[in-house]
Chains A and B, each alone.
Chain A
Amino acid sequence: MDAQRHLVVVGGGMVAQRLVEALRDRDGDGVWRVTVLAEEPRRPYDRVALTSYFSGRTPEDLALGDAALWDDPLVTLVRGDAVTAVDRATRTVTAASGRTHRYDHLVLATGSSAWVPPMEGADLDGVFVYRTLDDVAALRGHVTALAGERTVRGVVLGGGLLGLEAAGALDALGARPTVLQVDTHLMSAQVDLGGGEALRRLVNRLGIGVRTQSRTTRLLPHRTGGVGRVELADGTRLDADVVVVAAGVRPRDELARAAGLPIGPRGGVVVDDTCLTDDPDVSAVGEVACIRGACIGLVAPGYTMAEVTVDRLLGGGAVYPGADTATRLKLAGVDVASFGDAFARTPGALEVVWADPVGGVYKKLVLSDDARTLLGGVLVGDATAYASLRPMVGRELPGDPAAFLLPEGGTGAPELELPDDAGVCSCNNVPAGAVRHAVAEQGCHDLGAVKACTRAGTSCGSCLPLVKKLMATELGKLGVTVSSALCEHFALSRAQLYDAVRVAGLRTFTEVLERFGSHGRGCDICRPVVASILATTAPAHVLDGERAALQDTNDHVMANLQKDGSYSVVPRMAGGEVTPEGLIAVGEVARDFGLYTKITGGQRIDMFGARIDQLPLIWRRLVDAGFESGHAYGKSLRTVKSCVGSTWCRFGVQDSVALAVMLELRYRGLRSPHKIKLGVSGCARECAEARGKDVGVIATDKGWNVYVGGNGGFTPRHARLLAEDLDTQTLVRTIDRFLLYYVRTADRLQRTAPWIEEVEGGLDGVRAVVLEDSLGICADLDEQMARHVADYEDEWRATLDDPDKLARFASFVNAPDVPDPSLAYVPTRGQVRPATPDERAVLVAGTTLEVRS
């Protein structure tokens, strides 16, 4: 029998993560087990998104891929133990802890380190690099500590991609940054002088200073210690409370050097197109690899190398296809992209430039000498065309190239029909054909499904607009309507209609139809939508006036329609809490009306088999026993599930039941685009399964963590962290805003998970809206929720008090006391169930009933 082989990966960065993921994906027979030796004390994280750490993201949000990868028995991750030596003769590596690991194959994925130019003062306090989470956390700590005392002046050494990210981060922390660039313009490795100038103007607008052709000679201490000034080659001195060095990176090739492997002229472990070094048992991937003569500081080529290596380990013949060095910088208010031959180095290349200095826009396309084939481009200020142009590199552009540079809404660029083999997502190497196939053949009809199926857009997300467009085009070919119009009666989407109705202050369906509809009297699509919108913009009882005619039968009779036309009844048991008396009352009702009872997933009791005419009788009993509607029938809050919490549990740190009851009573009856479920767990053990809910709250010893966007069902999702360690008041306010923002902007029947994916800015956008009030709507949302809480009434109790409403529950308008003769039940496991058609044929024969005439 072949012994299992051992792969050792040195380095725990993004490329290592991808390599392990690809290996476990493809090595179904478990030929390889893999050990990853990471220097940092954490799992691989999304280094590309480091800057987002400043806009409130936590280390957990930077997690990559599926965390289950690291639970795989064939995968071992050793954290916080840097490898110190490689012995190729014995095929072992030794780590700082003294532990050794024998390998059958070794992959060096040690990445790069930030390069600090040799200069006086580089070791002063307050001088940082920008590479790891720890670097970024230290920078944040330093600036936050100083910010209390004065305006913090920051200087960033380096005007490249990373330098601008660092400047953006300083800006987000409230510091006043200045970028010092040695070269003639910003991002000189990616954009030309014209683009660099446009970029400088954009960056200036953000309040970030820029000095080009400025070489720093030394850093001078402040009299109170720490860095105080930066001195430039021309003698200028700038005040600086914090300095971030972003002058470039150097490959971490020291292990390879010591092991005697060939090193490139500018560093890096030399590898061939199969990513193998000089030693057939050692590969190198990512930024440490010198491939085709250069190291590449981008993640996408690293991913490609990881895939090539895995293919080779499994006996495949993959070779490195060359790097796509396209880059895009995304800072608030600054949009820059560069792709292909951005500097027109191809002989005979032509440049088409469009610049709008006032608008801060500079765009350039590089074309072949016949002005037909796209070779590359630079987009500054408006890089929306990036996603569709980048895959066209090396291909003929249809029509006049200039059309692609003009602002949106101008003469309009021709629709680009991407060839199937054109890459769409470079992070995950997904061609256009794969997206089309997912839509046409694999039944993926929304963005979430396409992402899950193809992995396109799951890393940096910059290709999502293109993926969406491809999907829409493909759906169009399938005859699936992709118009956002609600139905034939309303050209608006649900979100648009919500705003329109709210702003216009309309109160009835007829008004809404007259004002915003096109013709007719609505349908089973738009009527419930308008009912749901009016429920939060102009609250009233579900059966009041014209509203009654808008409700689905569930909302109309306030019970859940079952397959035979009977209904089920669910009284609220907030937080899953119920008294013995309550249980007895429910039991008696079920027994007296012959109802089948079952415990629901939301910690309450469902009673089945109630006829429409029995519903008021059942509810009279339930209301008298102190129960109220559980809204199990509504597109509204269902339940807030909880574990027993700190009052009883040995492990609980907070009173989860009390919070769950409070939240359920707060949001009960809130009508929404789809059902909403909440969960509260009293400790990190998470017994309430809160992360499977639209809003999940998990107790910490400092307060509450809140997660959003979870659900079970067809596409289960885990909720993602929205905010940490909130006190109860802040938590409630955050959930208030989250729910109402969802209610206002989600599509019909769209749950929170897909909504978060599609709403402006994704989860970060939601966080900005609900925590930082980036849209300025929070006061309005708070007021709307306060009104919901104040106006709440139990709709069943209100119905029982109103004879007109009760008249709707008659079985027959001409025989109100005659039960529906078509219903029939047979016993099963001590209760009843609806009879099958065959059973019913016997049971319901020859009904004779008196009819009023």
Chain B
Amino acid sequence: MTTLDHPATTWLTVCRLHDLAYERGAAALVPDEAGGLPVLTQVALFRLLDERVLAVQQHDPFSDAHVMARGIVGTRRVADLDVPTVASPMHKQVFDLGTGRCLDPAGKEPAAGRSPDLRTWQVRVVDGDVQVAVGGGPS
């Protein structure tokens, strides 16, 4: 089922909410665009205890492997707030799941030409369906 919400935004249903385990990632393939051509991009989905689902890129910019969904979920205190995080399973860089920002590069540089921060996708849950905003929506 796909829903049009914004002229440029498509909500793509990827799974049911109960398909996702709490505080553990799962990867999904979503349509995307690269250099004007349609491609499939891997996203990592995370279901938190408060039933929020957050999505960041599955690609780890530091190890250049598609592994972010396999990282450990947790929180880190940033300016008195506990922000949800994921740590790369490869070399433990820590990222803010909400913003994608790299909070701890663990002493490493990202792979050549990569930003240390992760791209994010908007996610909503409608009637138990987990939907990712794809195709030109805000990210």
Please list the residues of chain A having a beta carbon within 8 angstroms of any beta carbon in chain B: 488-489, 519-524, 526-528, 546, 548-553, 556-557, 561, 563-565, 612, 807-808, 810-815, 818, 820-822, 837, 846-849, 851, 853
Contact = CB atoms under 8 A, between A and B. Distances in A.
B15 to A, nearest CB: 4
Interface string B46-71: 00010000000001000111110011
A563 B72 contact: no
Given A549-B24, A813-B14, A814-B15, 4 more contacts: A521-B82, A523-B76, A524-B74, A807-B19
Contacts of A551: 72
A526 B42 CA distance: 28
Contact of B75 (A522, A553, A557): A522
Contacts of B90: 561, 563, 565
Interface residues on B, range: 35 or more
23 contacts: A489-B74, A521-B73, A523-B94, A524-B71, A527-B74, A528-B72, A546-B22, A548-B24, A549-B21, A549-B23, A553-B70, A561-B70, A561-B89, A808-B21, A812-B42, A813-B19, A813-B20, A813-B28, A813-B45, A814-B14, A814-B28, A848-B40, A851-B40
B75 to A, nearest CB: 4
B102 interface: no
A241 to B, nearest CB: 64
Contacts of A846: 37, 39
Contacts of A820: 27, 42, 66
Which applies to chain B's interface (DSSP): helix, strand, loop or mixed? strand
B8 interface: no
A561 B67 contact: yes
Interface of B: 1-2, 12-15, 19-24, 26-31, 37, 39-40, 42, 45, 49, 59, 63-67, 70-77, 82, 84-85, 87, 89-90, 92, 94, 111
Pairs of residues from A and B, 9 with the lowest C-beta to C-beta distance, nearest first: A520-B75, A524-B87, A523-B74, A565-B65, A553-B89, A553-B70, A549-B23, A524-B72, A520-B82
A848 B49 CA distance: 34
Contacts of B84: 521
Given A488-B76, A553-B67, A523 B29 contact: no
Contacts of A565: 63, 65-67, 90
A815 B26 CA distance: 11
- Which of B40, B90, B94 has the most A CB atoms < 10 Å from its CB? B40
B110 to A, nearest CB: 13
Nearest to A848: B40
B1 to A, nearest CB: 7
B40 A821 contact: yes
A821 B12 CA distance: 20
Contact of A556 (B22, B70, B111): B70
Contacts of B82: 519-521
B51 to A, nearest CB: 14
B72 A552 contact: yes
Q: Which of B37, B45, B67 has the most CB of A within 10 A?
A: B67
Contacts of B77: 488, 519-520
B74 to A, nearest CB: 4
Contacts of A552: 72, 89
Contacts of B20: 813
Given A488-B76, A548-B21, A853 B13 contact: yes
